[in-house]
Chains A and B, each alone.
Chain A
Amino acid sequence: MDASILGAAAINGLLLGGSYALVAVGLTLIYGVLHIINFAHGSLLMLAMYGVYFLLTKANVDPYAALPLMVAGMFAAGYLMYRALIGRFSHGKDENILLITLGLAIVLENAALFFFTGDTQTITVSYSNKMVELGPALVPLPKLVSFLASLLLCGALALFIARTDTGKAIRAVAKERDGARLVGIDVEKMFAVAYGIGIACLGAAACLLMPSFYVAPTVGHLFVIVAFTIVVLGGMGSFVGALLGALIIGLTESLAGLFFGEALGQIGIPLIFILILLLRPTGLFGAAR
Chain B
Amino acid sequence: MTTRKHRITRRSLIGAGAAAAAAASFGVPTLLRAQARPVKVGLVNPMTGFLAYSGAQCRLGAMTAIEEINAAGGIKSMGGAKLEPLLGDNQAKPEVGVSVVEKMQEEGVSAYIGAFSSAVALPATQAAAKYNTPFIIDVGASDNIVNRGLKNVFRLKPGFRACVDDAIVGLGEVNAAAGKVAKSAVLVHEESEFGTGTAKLLAGKLPSIGIEVKEVMKHANPTRDFSNVALRIRSLRPDLLIMSNYQNEYVLLARTLHQQKIDLAGMFSVLGGGFNYKFVKELPDVALSMMDFNHWFDPTNPKAQAMKRRIEAKGSLFTFEVYLAYNAVKLLADALERAGSADKEKVNAALASSTWADHFMPYGPTRFVNGQNEGGKAVMLQATRSDIEVVWPGRFASAKPVFPKPKFS
Using CB atoms and an 8 Å cutoff, list the residues of chain A in contact with chain B: 2, 5, 8-9, 12, 16, 110, 113, 117-124, 128-129, 131, 138, 140, 212-214, 216-218, 222-223, 226, 253-254, 257-258, 261-263, 266
Residue in A2, A226, A253, A263 whose Cβ sees the most chain B Cβ within 10 Å: A263
Pick the 6 closest A-B CB pairs, nearest first. A118-B52, A262-B219, A118-B53, A12-B227, A119-B53, A263-B218
Question: B248, A131: Cβ atoms under 8 Å?
Answer: no
Q: Which chain B residues numbered 212 to 243 have a C-beta less than 8 Å away from chain A?
A: 217-220, 222-229, 231-232, 235
Question: B259, A222: Cβ atoms under 8 Å?
Answer: no
Complex alpha-carbon distance, A263 and B255, angstroms:
19
Could you give 18 example pairs across A and B, Cβ below 8 Å?
A5-B231, A8-B227, A110-B48, A113-B52, A118-B50, A120-B53, A123-B282, A124-B285, A128-B259, A138-B260, A213-B224, A213-B252, A226-B224, A253-B225, A254-B225, A258-B228, A261-B217, A262-B223
- Identify the closest chain B residue to A109 (Cβ): B48
Question: A122, B261: Cβ atoms under 8 Å?
Answer: no
Complex alpha-carbon distance, A262 and B222, angstroms:
11
Given A129-B258, A131-B261, the answer on whether A120 and B56 have CB atoms closer than 8 Å is: no
- Which residues on A sit within 8 Å (CB–CB) of B50? 118, 218
User: Is B251's beta carbon under 8 Å from chain A?
Assistant: yes
Question: A120, B231: Cβ atoms under 8 Å?
Answer: no
Q: Is the interface of B mostly helix, strand, loop or mixed?
A: helix
- Which residues on B sit within 8 Å (CB–CB) of A124? 282-283, 285
Question: A140, B248: Cβ atoms under 8 Å?
Answer: no
Q: Other CB < 8 Å A-B pairs besides A119-B53, A258-B231, 19 of them?
A: A5-B232, A9-B228, A16-B225, A117-B56, A118-B48, A118-B50, A119-B278, A122-B251, A128-B259, A129-B258, A131-B261, A218-B50, A253-B225, A254-B225, A257-B228, A261-B217, A261-B218, A263-B191, A266-B220
- Identify the closest chain A residue to B256 (Cβ): A140
Min CB distance, A115 to chain B, in Å? 12
Question: B228, A122: Cβ atoms under 8 Å?
Answer: no
Using CB atoms and an 8 Å cutoff, list the residues of chain B in contact with chain A: 48-56, 191, 217-220, 222-229, 231-232, 235, 247-248, 251-252, 255, 258-261, 278, 282-283, 285-286
- Which residues on B sit within 8 Å (CB–CB) of A119? 53, 278
Question: B248, A113: Cβ atoms under 8 Å?
Answer: no
Question: B231, A113: Cβ atoms under 8 Å?
Answer: no
- Which residues on A sit within 8 Å (CB–CB) of B48? 110, 113, 118
Complex alpha-carbon distance, A181 and B223, angstroms:
46
- Which residues on A sit within 8 Å (CB–CB) of B258? 129
Complex alpha-carbon distance, A218 and B49, angstroms:
8
Question: B52, A12: Cβ atoms under 8 Å?
Answer: no
- Which residues on A sit within 8 Å (CB–CB) of B228? 9, 12, 254, 257-258, 262
- Which residues on B sit within 8 Å (CB–CB) of A9? 227-228, 231
Question: B248, A216: Cβ atoms under 8 Å?
Answer: yes
Complex alpha-carbon distance, A122 and B286, angstroms:
12
- Which residues on B sit within 8 Å (CB–CB) of A12? 225, 227-228, 231
Min CB distance, A63 to chain B, in Å? 15
Question: A254, B227: Cβ atoms under 8 Å?
Answer: yes
